[in-house]
Amino acid sequence: MDVKIEASWKEQLSDEFEKDYFKNLTSFVRDEYQKQHIFPPGKLIFNAFDQCPFDQVKVVILGQDPYHGPGQAHGLCFSVNDGIEFPPSLQNIFKEVQLDTGAPIPKSGNLERWARQGVLLLNATLTVRAHQAGSHQRKGWEEFTDAAIRKLAEEKEDLVFILWGSYAIKKGEFINPDKHLILTSVHPSPLSASRGFFGNKHFSRANEYLRQHGKEPIAW
């Protein structure tokens, strides 16, 4: 199956594209885009991979679903298009970046600037119906994104995996903590951020680990 995805990821994940679950997923997603209002736009489904080639990944941040409001989702977890108001979780992420590193709150919520530095911003599910959170869960996306995480965890060393909330933590259970740094906390959602997200210092801890392993830190 010819999937439009960045070349190094296409090579790494080529086996997945031939599996039955992925063929079924492709049929489901194609049908949904024809009949429903789906986010992100079709050409941005694999944007997280396109913006951050396999060989350049240094940090992985795991999300769950794309945003399901108009104009928000563009294929990177927690990120929104330029000019879109910051969703609450993203507001809290920027607050923690400022608390942790002193970096000012940015004017744009577009995190492509992180992706270009080697941060894979990966949702577990890559598509969603408008205004229906979780509507494309358990259709095959989770198996596909597990395969991507597994490739990184097994093929590379000294990555930073940032897992916020019980869903992301569970999804990353197979990652070897002897090969990689795994940072976990509650989710940045307003429902939980004050119970351990603020003050987790994940951004400075990630950079400290990258420096220790001879890698360029991220300008958060």
Residues designated catalytic: 65
Interhelix angle 20-35/141-155, nearest 10 degrees:
130
Burial 112-139 (b: 16+ CB within 10 A, else e): bebbebbbbbbbbbbbbbeeeeebbeeb
Alpha helices in 80-195 (DSSP H): 88-101, 112-115, 141-155, 165-171
Q: Where are the beta strands (DSSP E) in 6-89?
A: 38-39, 59-63
